[in-house]
Amino acid sequence: MTDLQQDTAQHGEHTAPVEAWDAIAALYDQHVAPGESEVATAGLRLAGLQAGDTFLDVAAGPGGLSLPAARLGAKVLATDWSPKMIEHLNARVAAEGLDAEGRVMDCHALDLPNDTYDVTGSLFGVMLVPDQAQALREMVRVTKPGGHVLVMAYGSPSEFEALHAFIAAAQAVVPEFEGPAEDEPLLEFQVADPDVLRQRLIDAGLRDVTVDTNHHERITVRTGQQLWDWTIGSNPIPGILVADLTDRQRADIIQVLDGMVRERSGGDGPAVLTAPLNIGVGTK
Ligand SMILES: C[S@@+](CC[C@H](N)C(=O)[O-])C[C@H]1O[C@@H](n2cnc3c(N)ncnc32)[C@H](O)[C@@H]1O
């Protein structure tokens, strides 16, 4: 295990430090964020985003939600505490010529004025932070009265197919491989229960709160290597779990994943693995 992975593993409640997010920013940009645009656009529509609106993205990564918002015609400020994530976002914005800007900022203390944005959103971001109540209060604070707050988070981990495929492949190669510790639920799933998400949005000061559970993230892959890259790039935790494996064991896991992908796709075309979503929207 590298020092960074050791730090991350010991950082309490599986909270990865900013350096761990910096370390996977390129993989996230290449293998994860591009596949999020369909579900991101669905969330933005549920939040009522209109062309010309001001939109703030919180824990924006390389732009899984910001880029679709800008493509819908919003004026976007994208914030994330990881400088590398923001570098990738700004590169995508420049390449597409979008009306968006990235700024490094911690979501627990947004360096932004009150009552400013028509819509404030977070895709798989505020979902996983340690003081979620504070982060949600900050999102509400900077939103205009009558504006909307959008929080997109994973639903039940038991239906997260990519995670289960990764753990099953690792256990096929290393039978004693352990997935995430069961006695310490991952912060990533703290609002997997839609009722918990609804209550947290109400507690943050929102009204007319709805939580839509009809959408799924669709992870589309053609090879075991792509499924490995998606998993390692999506969050620092999988990389920690496999940090002590040998190169040979990793190669064997990718081969097992390859077999799984082929079986799922029927050997023809890509395989699609799904993860359930909770899409929360409230009005300030
Ligand atoms: C799973 S990624 C989601 C990225 C992006 N929203 C997307 O879906 O494409 C989680 C993001 O949260 C960011 N993050 C984690 N803790 C944060 C904090 N305290 N303040 C701001 N960003 C944070 C990470 O740097 C990472 O970019």
Model pTM?
0.95
Testing ligand 1's pocket by substitution, the residue of 82, 93, 188, 218 carrying the most ligand atoms inside 8 A of its CB is 82
pLDDT-based confidence at residue 14 (cuts at 50, 70, 90): low
124 lines ligand 1 (CB under 6 A): yes
236 lines ligand 1 (CB under 6 A): no
Residues 104-144 pLDDT 10s: 999 999 999 999 999 999 999 999 999 999 999 999 999 99
Does some domain include residue 264?
no
CA distance linking residue 190 with residue 271, whole number of Å: 28
The conformational region for residue 224 under phi > 0 = left, psi -120 to 50 = alpha, else beta, is: alpha
Token readout for 152 is 């997109």
Does some domain include residue 233?
no
Residues 142-200 pLDDT 10s: 999 999 999 999 999 999 999 999 999 999 999 999 887 777 778 999 999 999 999 99
Extended strands (E) in 91-246: 100-104, 117-123, 143-154, 207-212, 216-221
Testing ligand 1's pocket by substitution, the residue of 32, 66, 85 carrying the most ligand atoms inside 8 A of its CB is 85
Amino acid found at 232: I
Does some domain include residue 225?
no
Number of domains in the chain: 1
186 lines ligand 1 (CB under 6 A): no
Residue 43: which CATH number?
A: 3.40.50.150
Q: Give percent above pLDDT 90 in the chain.
A: 89
129 lines ligand 1 (CB under 6 A): yes
Q: Which residues contact 260 (CB under 8 A, 6 or more apart)?
A: 165, 168, 169, 224, 227, 271
Do the beta carbons of residue 231 and residue 254 sit within 8 Å? no
121 forms bridges with which residues in the sheet? Answer: 57, 150
Does some domain include residue 83?
yes
Q: Which residues contact 254 (CB under 8 A, 6 or more apart)?
A: 224, 225, 228
Q: Which range marks the domain in which residue 196 is found?
A: 3-156+184-219+275-283
